[in-house]
């Protein structure tokens, strides 16, 4: 089985080499979409590593940008990581073993266990399940959602079936390190895109879920409770089981 790494980047010269080093020898190709707003050496670094690059215009949607990379992938399977992430040794092992086996046809992809750390690799929180990071290269598997986007089976998204990779943690993520969050204004960006998701679909449980978690992190418990209740009223089946449990806990907080 061949494997394509698909990623997108804007001004990632600081982090991109570490990502590409972490997948060297595992992936058969790297597809890198470069946001045209990029002003640093990201394109040069990508090409030095042999990545296949293309430019794209940002449309306020991570799903739209990621889908452009999927369209260009040639591998049998796709691995999606961001420049500020690293594939850990356990992740390499799990992916290599999984692709060497016969994956049942009813499985679309695999979740990974991701650990948020500071820039010194010290954990900021317990490892959590990520969205599907390894999945089949199939035209009916595409990303949905402007932010906190997830791979879905497009004819009928609820039928998407992904399972957990064995072992873990599989991925390290530096993007929530305090100085990184502050320098990139990530919270403001994500909040704006989540509200745009609700403009697209006022019954988007995922958008309400992440707004609830952001409100809790910002020390606004009443707002967190309100968003959590709205997420549950949209239909818990659209949320992962662990997120449903979090929303019930927040919804009952007041």
Please write the tens of the pLDDT for every residue from 141-150.
Answer: 999 999 999 9
DSSP 157: G
* 57-77 per-position pLDDT tens digit: 999 999 999 999 999 999 999
Domain 3-173 bears CATH identifier 3.40.30.10 = no
Asked if 222 and 228 count as a contact pair (C-beta separation under 8 A), the reply is: no
Query: In the chain, where does the domain assigned CATH 3.90.550.10 lie?
Result: 3-173
* pLDDT at 203 exceeding the cut of 70: yes
Distance (Å, whole) CA 250 – CA 227: 9
pLDDT at 237: 66
Burial 69-105 (b: 16+ CB within 10 A, else e): bbeebebebbbbbbbbbbbbebbbebbeebbeeebee
Domain 185-251 bears CATH identifier 3.30.70 = no
Q: Which two tokens stand for residue 67?
A: 């889908």
pTM (predicted TM-score)? 0.92
* pLDDT at 47 exceeding the cut of 90: yes
């Amino acid at each position: 089985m061949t494997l394509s790494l698909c990623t997108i980047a804007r001004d990632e010269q600081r982090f991109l080499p570490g990502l590409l080093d972490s997948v060297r020898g595992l992936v058969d190709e790297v597809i890198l979409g470069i946001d045209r707003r990029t002003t640093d050496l990201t394109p040069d670094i990508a090409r030095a590593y042999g990545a296949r690059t293309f430019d794209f215009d940002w449309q306020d949607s991570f799903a739209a940008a990621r889908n452009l990379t999927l369209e260009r992938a040639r591998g049998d399977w796709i691995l999606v990581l961001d420049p500020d992430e690293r594939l850990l040794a356990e992740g390499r092992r799990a992916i290599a073993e999984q692709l060497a086996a016969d994956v049942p046809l009813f499985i679309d992809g695999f979740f990974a266990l991701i650990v948020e750390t500071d820039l010194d690799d010290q954990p900021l929180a317990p490892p959590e399940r990520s969205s599907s990071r390894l999945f089949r290269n199939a035209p009916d598997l595409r990303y949905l959602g402007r932010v906190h986007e997830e791979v879905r089976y497009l004819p009928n998204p609820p039928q998407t079936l992904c399972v957990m990779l064995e072992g873990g943690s599989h991925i390290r993520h530096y993007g929530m390190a305090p100085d990184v969050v502050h320098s990139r204004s990530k919270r403001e960006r994500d909040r704006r895109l989540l509200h745009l998701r609700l403009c697209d679909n006022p019954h988007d449980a995922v958008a309400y879920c992440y707004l609830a978690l952001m409100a809790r992190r910002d020390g606004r418990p009443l707002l967190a409770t309100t968003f959590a209740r709205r997420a549950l009223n949209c239909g818990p089946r659209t949320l992962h089981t662990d997120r449903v449990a979090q929303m019930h806990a927040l919804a009952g907080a007041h």
